[in-house]
Amino acid sequence: MASKALPSRNQTALIMASTFIVLTVTGLVMFLWPPREVAIATNYSLLGMGKGGWEAIHLGVSFTFIALGAVHIWWNRRALGAYMTPSRDRLAYRRIATTLVLMVASGFFGAWIF
């Protein structure tokens, strides 16, 4: 049985951009969804789906995004390694510190939202 080949770099970038857009839209839909009591009382749905349907799409697409993100990191490991390897100049250390701070801040922001 032949193994399936990974998508090309271009395909990965296109799919990741598409999944990011879908994640943004589904996240906004769930964030702006009316409170449970209002949604039940009015039988609220959007494009024929309730909140559970939007959550299922968001979860499935997020797994795809994470998997393709891992593939992206693997393919670009040399460039990322060169970017993260400090040199003697202070700018490299500042760049690494800024990247790490932004990553941690985005994680905390995401945890704070939910």
Residue labelled with tokens 């999944």:
19
How many residues in the chain? 114
pTM above 0.75, yes or no: no
Q: According to DSSP H, which parts of 33-114 are helical?
A: 36-42, 51-75, 77-84, 90-113
Write out pLDDT tens, residues 53-93.
Answer: 888 888 898 888 888 888 887 887 787 777 766 666 666 67
Write out pLDDT tens, residues 16-31.
Answer: 888 989 988 988 888 8
Inter-residue contact 1 to 60 (CB < 8 Å):
no
Average pLDDT over residues 85-109: 75
Question: Can you count the helices (H) and strands (E) in the chain?
Answer: 5, 0
Return d(Cα 47, Cα 29) in angstroms, integer.
11
C-alpha dihedral over 14, 20, 22, 26, to 10 degrees?
A: 180
Number of Cβ within 10 Å of residue 19's Cβ equals 20
Residue 113 has pLDDT above 70, yes or no: no
Inter-residue contact 61 to 26 (CB < 8 Å):
yes
Token duo for residue 74: 């693997």
